[in-house]
Structure 1
């Protein structure tokens, strides 16, 4: 068999794309390890003095571990409840799409993906405040609800590809609808559960706007919000700022590196099947 000739156009685009991703990361790491004087002398060069103390100072100034705890708690709870609740709603819709009411529900949920958040931001802030939900619990509930639109879209597409004969066999054996879902359908949703869980994890951890407008107590601040609150303090010391940014980004970078195959394959399966 003849060896395929390399496609230089695609290869060049991949190289350029990789550089566009890696170069900002290189700058973030090097700036976080420089002194203010080194940063003023040269932005691009490697640091002459590797100041790991910048990370310790950033941790102390931003109360990093408190914000990390808040972000971790919110992310874990949101991921678990999103998978459990959104999959059940999607299953009920997917198996009843032949009915007008459920078809309306499907398009109603999916249409929410096209509603920009700034349009509903003010009503949400006023409502959560009046209900006493301007806290971490309210933030978790909003994440779970706001994830419904996209999650139902991918879940329904995947569930429709699961043969109904599996459910019919379980019902013949005496299983209830509830048991059919948890014993038959939910285990088969593992690839899609992984995809939804990873995407929800990335969103809840990195989101800035929703915590900014919902949370009223600085002790409840998440990592992205802490970076914003201390922006003025970092205006003359970007070394500490970049050290703090890198620590906040590091957990999700690791999650994405190890889980990107489930993200890509899961979204493709949910959209096509």
Structure 2
């Protein structure tokens, strides 16, 4: 009987679920196919484009990347994007975690529950509604620079991040904090030595979400930044596409250059977000 059960298990393990396999193959194709087209166009000359988008050029024109770097001032934009994204991520984690901790531990009080729903309601406010008022207010406060942009990223990320932190912190037992307070720890010591380190999975999740958002965002830098020296990579590519829209080879080369840093980041940080999802499920 045991042998029969083992054989049935082996058959189930060896059996291929064709519908799911086909869907995964289609999903992979929809991701890889546009990337292949982008790489081919970036390595072609304008004359090679006459042979078709999917044609392989006889000579790979790697000089397209050099010209794209020069025409978009890529390294200056890269420096701005790295600075804005890294600072915004650090401040987002510290502020959102503190707000989420306070709300999660006092959610039973009417004031904090109202505050929680106030943050959640901000998730449903469309950005175009407040865009013009935001531009006017930011200009009046002289915040139309990198610092102002970072502040806006931190503030706009509060609603979603507080929602994530509150959900995660509710799963952490309060008995750990009570035991620390009995040993003489203050509220700040409990937070920084116990709560904050235990939030590493959600820290990683929030950091990745914020990084992808800040790095790829075009709208806020476009309406906030007034000095061309502060342009980010997406903004530089937007301006480049507007000025040289017919030069697809250089445009796609610049797209790949802008994609490469965030792709490397995601590959490195992928294990952290998977760990965060697994630990969150266990909790």
Decide: shared fold, TM above 0.5. yes
State whether residues 201 and 276 of structure 2, in contact with CA within 8 Å, keep that contact through their aligned partners in structure 1: yes
- 1:211-250 alignment, distance < 5 Å: 211-250=221-260
State whether residues 154 and 267 of structure 1, in contact with CA within 8 Å, keep that contact through their aligned partners in structure 2: no
**Equivalent of 2:68, from 54, 58, 70?**
58
State whether residues 93 and 103 of structure 1, in contact with CA within 8 Å, keep that contact through their aligned partners in structure 2: yes
* C-alpha distance in structure 2 between counterparts of 1:206 and 1:232, whole Å: 17
Task: Specify the alignment match of 1:42 in structure 2.
Answer: 52
* C-alpha distance in structure 1 between counterparts of 2:52 and 2:40, whole Å: 11
Task: Specify the alignment match of 1:87 in structure 2.
Answer: 97
Which deviations, in whole Å up to 9, do the C-alpha atoms of 1:142-177 show, x marking residues without a partner? 000011111111111111111111101111111111
Corresponding position: 1:133 with 2:143: yes
Task: Specify the alignment match of 2:3 in structure 1.
Answer: none
* C-alpha distance in structure 1 between counterparts of 2:47 and 2:133, whole Å: 47
TM-score (structure 2 length as normaliser) = 0.92
**Equivalent of 2:198, from 184, 188, 209?**
188
**Equivalent of 1:176, from 186, 190, 202?**
186
Matched position secondary structure for 1:144: helix
State whether residues 156 and 270 of structure 1, in contact with CA within 8 Å, keep that contact through their aligned partners in structure 2: no
1:261 shift after superposition: 4.3
**Equivalent of 1:114, from 112, 124, 146?**
124
Matched position secondary structure for 2:142: coil
Corresponding position: 1:97 with 2:107: yes
TM-score (structure 1 length as normaliser) = 0.96
Corresponding position: 1:260 with 2:264: no
**Equivalent of 2:165, from 132, 155, 168?**
155
Task: Specify the alignment match of 1:6 in structure 2.
Answer: 16
The number of equivalent residue pairs is 273
1:267 shift after superposition: 5.8
1:116 shift after superposition: 1.1
Matched position secondary structure for 2:241: coil
Matched position secondary structure for 1:232: helix
Task: Specify the alignment match of 2:39 in structure 1.
Answer: 29
State whether residues 201 and 273 of structure 2, in contact with CA within 8 Å, keep that contact through their aligned partners in structure 1: no
Q: After the TM superposition, which of the residue ranges 263-272 and 163-172 deviates more from structure 2?
A: 263-272
Superposition RMSD in Å: 1.6
